[in-house]
Amino acid sequence: MKLRKKKGDLRSRPNGFTILEMMIVMLVVAVLLMITLPNVQSKNTLIRKTGCQAMLDVIDSQILLFEIEHDRKPVDLNELLHEGYLKEAQMVCPDGTTPVIENGQAVSR
């Protein structure tokens, strides 16, 4: 003898997620985001500082190349820019500081 399921029976519905299951999943995702976001933001600051140091190294190498080709050091970064040693995007560090030439070396301010 077979038992017939009623039309309104909850078990006769197609399988799917209940609201409670969805809320638990959302809670887990929120906790994971709360754990990872501070780490991502601190790494972003470190990347910007490292990017600025790399930019200063590039400018230092271009200063040396300018000195080899012209037998003198450049006066400022604009001279390197106009002579084609630097691009406009290299005039600002990724962390927002501006590189300048002091005593023949690039430093950021």
Domain boundaries, the chain: 39-108
Q: Is the pLDDT of residue 57 over 60?
A: yes
CA atoms within 13 Å, Cβ hemisphere of 40: 6
Q: The pTM is what?
A: 0.62
Per-residue pLDDT band for 5 (boundaries 50, 70, 90) equals low
Q: Is the pLDDT of residue 13 over 80?
A: no
Q: Are 104 and 79 in contact (CB under 8 A)?
A: no
Q: Is the pLDDT of residue 1 over 60?
A: no
Q: If you average pLDDT over residues 62-78, what whole number do you get? A: 94
Q: Are 6 and 12 in contact (CB under 8 A)?
A: yes
Single out the residue of 65, 69, 56 nearest to residue 107, CA to CA. Answer: 56
How much of the chain is in helix, strand and coil states, percent to nearest 5? 60, 5, 35
Q: Are 109 and 62 in contact (CB under 8 A)?
A: no
